[in-house]
Chains A and B, each alone.
Chain A
């Protein structure tokens, strides 16, 4: 079946612009996660959704970062007034919470470059 998809695969933006990153999880997966992979910080958690609510936003690095999820499916991560330190690969993962499996299935990522 279809895996987790993310768009765009690459995004180059100018400092100060806003960007939106999209994640389509595996159908039926109730849990959705955003992570960031950068050279300086490694792989770090950003936010977790259970359905449309976000019980854990503790990883969002600043109030320029926000995310939403609609219909228990697609999620959008928005970064306002981008800075060069936002350059990273943004990964989305989904998981069938409620089962005995704790596996998270990762998408291919969106590579964001802020110039």
Chain B
């Protein structure tokens, strides 16, 4: 079956530091890949996505590239802010008709940015 593995947290950084959260996946076929973010006290929000190999998703200074050869979708941001403190989830969706694009999530990585 499908699975997503992401680095465990918490990750603690200083403001303006570089952030990388590793994510690798196992899937049949060619899934779409996502990063969702959950800010404190809020619901899950889509941060970025990539639907095919070599696509780069980007949003709010975050980037991730769909690497089919390494089955990875690592999240990066060059200069984090305190407001980036949140839990980040890597996810994939399977496009088979029965699965209906249901999401398989990684375990989540808590990021804490200190001023």
Contact = CB atoms under 8 A, between A and B. Distances in A.
Contact of A55 (B45, B98, B104): B98
Given A33-B103, A44-B105, A106 B43 contact: yes
Nearest to B89: A43
10 contacts: A31-B101, A33-B100, A42-B105, A42-B106, A43-B91, A55-B100, A97-B101, A102-B49, A102-B51, A108-B42
B59 to A, nearest CB: 12
Interface string B85-114: 000010101010111111111111000000
A59 B103 CA distance: 11
A91 interface: yes
A43 B102 contact: no
B102 A45 contact: yes
Interface residues of B, number: 25
A49 B108 CA distance: 25
A102 B99 contact: no
Given A42-B107, A42-B108, A102-B49, A91 B44 contact: yes
A30 to B, nearest CB: 10
Interface of B: 32, 36, 42-46, 49, 51, 89, 91, 93, 95, 97-108
Interface in A38-76: 42-45, 48, 50, 55-56, 59
Contacts of B105: 35, 42-44
A109 interface: yes
A55 to B, nearest CB: 5
Contacts of A55: 97-98, 100
A77 to B, nearest CB: 15
Contact of A91 (B43, B45, B101, B102): B43
Interface in A8-57: 31, 33, 35, 42-45, 48, 50, 55-56
Given A93-B44, A97-B100, A106-B44, 9 more contacts: A43-B103, A44-B105, A45-B104, A50-B100, A55-B100, A56-B102, A95-B101, A102-B93, A108-B42
